[in-house]
Amino acid sequence: MANSPQTAAKDVSPAPVVRFAPSPTGFLHIGGARTALFNWLYAKANDGQFLLRIEDTDRKRNNPEAVAAIYDGLKWLGLDWDGDAVSQYARADRHVEIAEALLANGNAYRCCLTTDELNAMRKQAEAEKRTFKIRSPWRDKGLDETRKDQPFSVRLKAPQDGETIVHDEVQGDITFANQDLDDFIILRSDATPTYHLAVVVDDHDMGITHVIRGVDHLNNAARQNLIYAALDWDIPTYAHVPLIHGADGAKLSKRHGALGVESYRADGFLPEALRNYLVRLGWSHGDDEIMSTQQLISWFGLDGIGKSPARFDTQKLEDLNAHYIRESTNEDLLEHIRAVLPEIEDGNTLADKLTKNDGWAKLEMALPGLKPRAKTVLAVLDGARFITDQRPLVLEPKAAKLLDDDAKGHLAQLKTRLETASDWQAATLEAIVRSYGEEADIKLGKIAQPLRAALTGRTVSPPVFDVLAALGKTESLARLADQTV
């Protein structure tokens, strides 16, 4: 692979601290996995820290199984985080403390607006054909005696004129008119924090220096900057990355294959292939397509992230996965096969069969012939089913057609030759088959194809001499006998 002249821009400032902060309402989806990968790479590329925070303040939507799936997905992708994962919910007292500090310094206020009052304000804005912005009557007055026992929320007292500028490493400077920003709630009437307050407080307390996340959070950055300013805290460096779209250009959804990371694992994709593919969705390094993890760490920089949405293409992912399968060692590929077996329908049955009669050893022997034709681990397993199939084999229709009387006659004679083989290796077996073909004056294909059908029940398999070697002498001869007697 040729090295590109482009190199990542390394930070010369103190080592960055970044975070991945998913909500545990679903599994680790593909967009979240890419966000985590970008953060992880940026930390690794600049000798920084990659932290994990679970934003679990919404207890109604919080799903412990989803939390476990997030951990599992990140570990499978090889994205190790520093320290313990932080629970946002566990920091609720700290969020309330900061809300009270904002009340004390005059940058927030208690608001008793009811749902009915808000609905009336919204309807009036619609009737006047103007954008609805909350302008609370409680902004400039305290709660009197008649209201002090009423439920109240806490709103940030946002500036009503001027501009808020979000400086972004990917999108550039984005300007928001303050008159368009509401006095948004930072603490609900039940004393639970809203997203904006919790994120700012947690990022500050965790020492986050760079916030790398999807561009759909860009508007959130404007509101969060107001909280930073009200607290006189340093604002982190933002990098809002483009969204991922489907091949048709529409926002990525389940119909495009936007499943959880665990689904890609179950479908037989390798973590290194998915990492390589995800990093190329929105980031580039010259013309390089296939990059090792060390190259990614060496080259990754925010300057390589583009503004345009990336398009998810399952076919390209499969092609990339095929490359990594071909390049994988037998040992690594066997580990991936062991990991995927529990994920598939008959995986436990296959695992049992592979533990018998040296099945794993036979599979390892067959891998060199299986790798070149497989795009997924499942395809490797499918191609290897000749090892675990039980006699007598159920022949595919096309395979059965190959075994006519003439072919069976040749196989019977070939079986006699193979019985004398003392060295059951692919090269030796190939020499025996070729010698028989020359003597019988038939082309190799005319004997190899029926031989493959008799040994595997299929018309497609690894090289037939590798199949013979993998099955072993006893099983190979028994399968030939099944088709020639």
The set of catalytic residues is 254
How far apart are alpha carbons 310 and 281 in whole angstroms? 5
Question: How would you classify the pairing of strands 86-87 and 49-54?
Answer: parallel
Count of CA atoms in the C-beta half-sphere (13 A) of 75: 7
How large is the angle between the packed helices 30-45 and 271-279, nearest 10 degrees? 80
- Residue 430 CA neighbour count, 13 Å, CB half: 9
Residue 281 structure tokens: 């969705």
**By the 8 A CB rule, do 150 and 283 touch?**
no
Are 325 and 269 contacting, i.e. CB atoms less than 8 angstroms apart? no
Residue 127 CB partners (closer than 8 Å, separation 6+): none
Beta carbons within 10 angstroms of residue 249's beta carbon: 8
**Are the beta carbons of 73 and 262 closer than 8 angstroms?**
yes
Contacts (Cβ under 8 Å, ≥6 apart) of 445: none
CB 198 within 8 A of CB 57: yes
Torsions phi, psi for 20 (to 5 deg) = -115, 125
- Tokens read off for 16: 């960055």
